[in-house]
A and B are shown apart, each in its own frame.
Chain A
Amino acid sequence: MTATVSNLSADLVAERFAALGGRLPGAGLSWLEARRRSAVARFQDLGVPTAKDEAWHYTNLARLIEGRPLVPAAMEAAAAPARTNGLRLVFEGAAAREMPAELPPGVTLLPLSQALRDLPERVREALAPTPAEKAPAMTALGEAFFQEGALLQVAAGVKVEEPIELIFAGDDTANDNRHLRLLVVLEAGAEATLVERHEASAGLANLVLSARLAEDARLTHLRLQRQGIEAVHIGAMEATLAARAAYQGAVLASGAGLSRQEAVIRLQGEGARATLNGLILLRGRQHADLTTELRHEVGDTVSRETIRQVLDDQARAVFQGRIVVTPGAGGSDGRLGSKALLLSDKAESDAKPELEIFADDVQCAHGATVGDIDTDALFYLRSRGIGAETARALLIRAFLAEALDGLDEARAVPLEQAVAAWLAGAR
């Protein structure tokens, strides 16, 4: 029996796990099996999110992916990935196809199945801070069933200049589904740029990423989600920052019929700074949800979040952004702003920015606006000979510019390219 969203009972989840568990990566590692089992139990408790779940209020997942298989039907034995030049892992479906032939000193970049074979203790350490039994539903499902994934670790003081890429490709069909677990560990003073490219044509991808930045570590993290329109993309991410660590993240979502990015960033050391930007570009009947929580868990921490949505046709974007300042985290400084540009009367943007502040002496601000393209500006450009399409593209790019602020030019290139491609009609 196919385990679809509609019939995914607790029993069926247990049955699928019993059938597959022994073939999932890391089978035989008792700590991992215990972890997977507690994740199964957690998912059995929660079930597939519906609009009744506060966090899924605007994205009724159970209804939107009704009938889709949610748990892998089988676990095929995958061939060993090819070793290629370049700092990247390439995945097709749930299998790693390419891995680097060589790595710079101090850098570990492995498919997770291999890391579990060769370096199980490192994987265990990387997983430890995020207990599976407290995970939200889709994260728990991913923790239970992950078929593959990646371990990226950069040793203390090592600065990796070249961007490290994770590419998720494949000509999946709508019935394919995969759960991938991504682990990023930057030791003290390490620096790296991670670029995720999600390009698979269809199927359901459920990704769970944990990033841990030790003291003074710096991570630039781009997630470019440009999947095919038949695809469903669900991504959860949690980053923890120690003292003076800096996280600079940008999510671009222009693909997939349905996508959800959930990010939690924990500022746990003084002087830590997180920037999270979002560029949501949708047309047709696409639906994208970006739900974020920036947590100031100690004082003297800074967060900045800039979201820009451009919505055409009947597309719908959801942004739920929360800044939390926990007790004792005085001196925190958090800012969050979201703007939506609607190119059509039927496009819709729902924004819910929230502040939860439990400390004094805090600077926090949030805001969300929705607007149309500025027809005065459009006419001004056209009156100077610039064609309507080019003029519109110029204005859209200007609107998005603030979401690229802070990224240095070289790092912003993949985002600029993705924006240009979208404006030209591609995903």
Chain B
Amino acid sequence: MMLDIDDLRVTVDGKEILKGLSLSVGAGEVHAIMGPNGSGKSTLSYALAGREGYAVTGGTVRFKGADLLALDPEERAAAGVFLAFQYPIEIPGVPNTTFLKEAVNAVRKQRGESELDAMQFLRLAREKAKGLKMGDEFLKRAVNVGFSGGEKKRNEVLQMALLEPALCILDETDSGLDIDALRVVADGVNGLRSPERSMLVITHYQRLLDYIVPDRVHVMAQGRIVRSGGPDLARELEESGYAGFVETAA
């Protein structure tokens, strides 16, 4: 099993947001998590990535069999967990290339691989960026500073492509994207699908799932998974909305 979450409870600012969430994702599988605003979707993604302030008060998370919650955020990244942010952070003064090279080499080092020199890195970064229709200027600019919504999301997918994670968590990757940008980002993500790589696609809308077709769909409400099914469940939700599920959970 790639990811095994059992009865996870997470508190933010003293308030319990995840209330016993369980979920298993097999290697190579793509799972979608859908749910209304406030159901705890982003909390789940941050808790898995190890963000400060997301206190785990119960349950376990095993990643490739090991205890994920015992690791620092950077160790989780090296182990192969990648969170594509809903709102990628702007970092003035840090060039994107510097950031990407630091990240790639930090992860390679922790994985026991040799670090890339400047030339090797640049060749790799340019090749991956080209696939996402990102020119060299994206590499030179400060991290996400002045990037449009679509450019920020492409930059997330670029990082994903460079870090080669085993588990990709995509938090509302479709938010703020027009249809063309969505297609470029979805193509990038689909290009990374492989039998060794699992994905957790978190979204409010079914739209993204037309492009990134999941193996399983889960509905989340009030901090738990309340229903699971195949890809058809997403379309069913699109018609009926979340109202019924919210009541079920309550």
A residues engaging B (CB < 8 A)? Answer: 374-377, 379-388, 390-391, 394-395, 397-399, 401-402
Contact = CB atoms under 8 A, between A and B. Distances in A.
Interface residues of B, number: 29
B194 interface: no
A313 B91 CA distance: 25
A383 B49 contact: yes
The majority secondary structure among interface residues of chain A is helix
Given A377-B91, A397-B93, A399-B93, A383 B102 contact: no
Contacts of B73: 379, 382-383
5 contacts: A380-B89, A382-B50, A382-B77, A386-B106, A394-B102
Contacts of A380: 85, 88-89, 91
Interface in B83-108: 83, 85, 88-89, 91-94, 98-99, 102-103, 106-107
Given A376-B89, A380-B89, A386 B94 contact: no
Interface string B18-55: 00000000000000000000000000000001111000
Contacts of A382: 50, 72-74, 77
Nearest to A376: B89
B74 A386 contact: yes
Nearest to A394: B94
Of A383, A386, A388, A398, the most chain B CB neighbours within 10 A belong to A383
A398 B90 CA distance: 12
A395 B91 contact: yes
B93 A385 contact: no
A399 B51 CA distance: 23
A21 to B, nearest CB: 52
A385 B103 contact: yes
A390 B74 CA distance: 11
A383 B159 CA distance: 11
Contacts of A387: 74, 106
A375 B52 CA distance: 9
B191 to A, nearest CB: 20
B51 A379 contact: yes
B78 interface: yes
B17 interface: no
